[in-house]
């Protein structure tokens, strides 16, 4: 039943029509249906504030020109759908009276078009500030505002954050000199002074990523190793603030106080150091970064026999492992319980094997430990460093006369004139029997011997290899002025930690460290015994030791200020000769590559590895999303940047002329 109320004008009247008597008008100009989000927002608004605009309707007529009792909604189809949504949710009845305007004067299609065309949307800046005002003046939180406007709390938080941007920048946005993406980049912080400072420092490049980087350049990402190690809860409890980027993926936000974060990280590392100190080490020091320039000699664990109980347990576990291996030797796939058993036995073998190596108690008493922060946010403990003042001083044999008597160096016992009385030639000769050769003569004779050794070594390649190996090993594993090497060869091993972030935590770095420790535990404690050790090695072992020490001297890092095209060409030749396969040591990820190159480089990589079609699908993406998608697409493809690719062995024949031409 239609009910007319109050205002009635010619051909127009305000009426209440039951909801279930309202239909969508076939003459509605809007053909694209309303989105679910738009209907949700209208329903929330009507629920909170009532219907602010009437529906405009016309009666439905049957073929004989008789009113059917239903009405077509000419204007307000979205509001009709919002009422239906409320009815489905049992918020109102299905026949709830809905206030409408019955219009018989205007063409329904025209007024439907008019409503959608003759209108002006609110500027986004006004909307952002209005949301902010609702929050500040009414005390409403994001959840309450979201419920009243039919949007998510996250959307409300975004609008509130945008509403908090500096009024100066908001006016620039209104004038069209800033885009919404740029404004969102400024909104990462609510510090108006910082926002205006960054805006004033912008050059021609006003990309949102540039703005975001400048806004957070004094902050620390939550994915930073220090932040991971300390944890957001501990940092906030200590008074730190975490900034969140509400408009893009921020990996947990940004820690605003870098100084506080560093202090908390060091304090936590020092707590770990205190625990390590209980092992008996003379000193333990905590650092965020590994102190590569420490210059200390390092000692390693030495083989020690297991206790009878541990040895018996190891033998039993090893026997069970061997029996199980033999039983399932031909099986293509292990049952889950058997696979789990293998893992348990392997863990037991590793645990007991670890006890077969230990630091000497005297070394612990004189040595120290560095506790440093890994790039994955965990503490790394590096044991076994000896300071120069804690080095054991070698026992010096007393000088003796030819008859075995000790020479004090201070010939006393002759007093008065007898001490300066003239001597006969025979007496002089007898007294000179124990006098050492002069320094000048010793230098002269040893120079001749050195010359003869050079000739002889040059004629004996096998012995030359032994001597070079000894020199390399002496200076690789021992510290001090006299390492025992008689070849004037000084190997240098430049740490790579300062050249590539996180390189020390890679599988390749761990593999090299394990290989070094394997040799270190075999070294004699006294460098004086090293020659005998090297000579006593079989050929294959000596060559392996030589190769290891040589490998530590390789340095092929390209630095912009240190251009060495010939050295780079040689490194390429070395890689070719070794058939170096970098896919075994490196893979392109967001962190290692895609997040650090331009979108053009990302698309080029995808095109090379996967194809043009895959690259085309990524073209419209933002940088972060494109980088993440590229990492997934290239996983397992073996793609490498040109700098990491290895050419054939013929590259080793590259001439110096061509290398110089590359300068």
CA distance 240 to 234: 9
Alpha-carbon span 22 to 80, nearest angstrom: 8
- Model pLDDT, residue 82: 92
Distance CA 284, CA 270 (A): 9
Confidence at residue 250, expressed as pLDDT on a 0 to 100 scale: 60
How does residue 272 score in pLDDT terms, banded at 50, 70 and 90? Answer: very high
Pair 256, 241: CB distance under 8 Å:
yes
Share of the chain above pLDDT 90, in %: 19
pLDDT of 420 > 60? The answer is no
The string of DSSP codes covering 240-263 is: --EE--TTS--TT-EES-HHHHHH
Give the C-alpha separation, 24 to 452, whole Å. 109
Query: Residue 160, exposed/middle/buried by CB under 10 A (0-12, 13-18, 19+)?
Result: buried
CA-to-CA dists, residue 610 to 210, 592, 593, 630, angstroms: 30, 19, 17, 10
Whether 605 shows a pLDDT value over 90: the answer reads: yes
Cα separation of 581 and 384, whole Å? 34
Q: What domains, with CATH codes, occur in the chain?
A: 3-117 (3.90.1530.10), 443-555 (no CATH)
Q: What's the mean pLDDT when you consider all of the chain?
A: 81
With the C-alpha atoms ordered 410, 416, 418, 420, is the resulting torsion angle positive or negative? positive
Is the distance from CB of 610 to CB of 637 less than 8 angstroms? yes
Q: What is the pLDDT of residues 483-536, one digit of tens each?
A: 777 888 888 888 887 788 778 878 888 888 888 988 888 888 888 899 999 999
Q: Which of 191-205, 352-366, 493-507 is predicted with the least confidence, judged by mean pLDDT?
A: 493-507
Question: Which of 275, 352, 338 lies closest to 307 in space, CA to CA?
Answer: 352
Q: What is the pLDDT of residues 23-46, one digit of tens each?
A: 998 888 887 888 888 888 888 888
Among all chains, which residue has been given the structure tokens 């560095």? Answer: 370
């Amino acid at each position: 039943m239609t009910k007319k109320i109050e205002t009635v004008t010619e051909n127009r009247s305000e009426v209440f029509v039951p909801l279930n008597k309202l239909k969508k008008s076939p003459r509605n100009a809007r053909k694209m249906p309303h989105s679910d989000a738009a209907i949700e927002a209208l329903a929330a608004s009507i629920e909170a504030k009532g219907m602010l605009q009437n529906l405009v309707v016309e009666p439905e007529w049957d073929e004989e020109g008789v009113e059917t009792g239903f009405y077509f909604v000419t204007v307000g189809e979205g509001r009709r759908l919002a009422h239906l949504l409320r009815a489905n949710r049992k918020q109102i009845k299905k026949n709830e009276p809905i206030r409408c305007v019955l219009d018989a004067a205007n063409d329904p299609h025209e007024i439907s078009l008019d409503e959608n065309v003759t209108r002006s949307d609110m500027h986004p800046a006004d909307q952002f500030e209005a949301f902010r005002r609702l929050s500040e003046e009414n005390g409403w939180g994001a959840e309450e505002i979201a419920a009243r406007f039919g949007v998510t709390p996250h959307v409300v938080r975004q609008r509130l954050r945008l509403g908090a941007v500096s009024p100066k920048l908001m006016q620039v946005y209104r004038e069209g000199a800033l885009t919404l993406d740029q404004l969102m980049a400024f909104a990462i912080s609510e510090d108006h002074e910082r926002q205006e400072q960054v805006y004033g420092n912008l050059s021609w490049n006003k990309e949102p990523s540039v703005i975001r980087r400048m806004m957070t350049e004094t902050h620390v990402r939550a994915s930073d190793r220090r932040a991971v190690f300390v944890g957001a809860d501990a940092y906030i409890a200590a008074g730190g603030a975490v900034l969140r980027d509400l408009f893009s993926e921020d990996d947990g936000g940004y820690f605003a106080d870098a100084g506080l974060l560093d202090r908390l990280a060091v304090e936590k590392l020092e707590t770990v150091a205190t625990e390590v100190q209980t092992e008996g080490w003379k000193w333990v020091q905590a650092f965020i970064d590994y102190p590569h320039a420490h210059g200390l000699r390092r000692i390693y664990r030495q083989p020690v026999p297991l206790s009878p109980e541990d040895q018996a347990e190891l033998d039993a576990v090893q026997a069970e492992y061997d029996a199980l291996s033999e039983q399932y030797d031909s099986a293509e796939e292990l049952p889950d319980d058997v696979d789990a058993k293998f893992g348990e036995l392997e863990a037991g073998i590793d645990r007991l094997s670890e006890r077969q190596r230990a630091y000497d108690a005297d070394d612990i008493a004189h040595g120290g430990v560095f506790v440093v922060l890994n790039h994955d946010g965990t503490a790394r403990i590096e044991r076994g460093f000896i300071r120069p003042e804690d080095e054991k001083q070698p026992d010096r044999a007393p000088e003796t006369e030819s008859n075995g008597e000790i020479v004090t160096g201070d010939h006393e016992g002759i007093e008065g004139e007898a001490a300066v009385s003239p001597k006969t030639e025979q007496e002089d000769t007898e007294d000179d029997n124990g006098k050492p050769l002069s320094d000048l003569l010793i230098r002269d004779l040893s120079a001749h011997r050195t010359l003869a050794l050079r000739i002889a070594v040059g004629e004996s390649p096998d012995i030359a290899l032994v001597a070079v190996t000894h020199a390399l090993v002496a200076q690789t594993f021992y510290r001090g002025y006299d390492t025992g090497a008689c070849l004037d060869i000084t190997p240098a091993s430049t740490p790579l930690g300062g050249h590539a972030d996180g390189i020390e935590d890679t599988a390749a770095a761990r593999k090299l460290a394990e290989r070094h420790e394997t040799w270190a535990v075999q070294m004699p404690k006294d460098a004086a015994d090293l020659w005998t050790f090297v000579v006593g090695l079989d050929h294959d072992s000596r060559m392996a030791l030589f190769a290891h020490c040589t490998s530590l001297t390789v340095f092929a890092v390209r630095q912009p200020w240190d251009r060495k095209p010939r050295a780079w060409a040689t490194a390429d030749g070395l890689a070719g000769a070794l058939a170096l396969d970098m896919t075994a040591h490196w893979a392109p990820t967001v962190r290692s590559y895609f997040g650090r190159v331009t979108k053009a480089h990302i698309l080029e990589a995808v095109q090379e590895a996967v194809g043009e079609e895959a690259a085309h699908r990524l073209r419209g993406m933002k940088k972060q999303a494109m980088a993440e998608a590229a990492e997934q697409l290239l996983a397992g493809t073996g793609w490498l940047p040109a700098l990491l690719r290895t050419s054939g062995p013929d590259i080793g024949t590259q001439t110096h002329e061509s290398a110089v031409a590359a300068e």
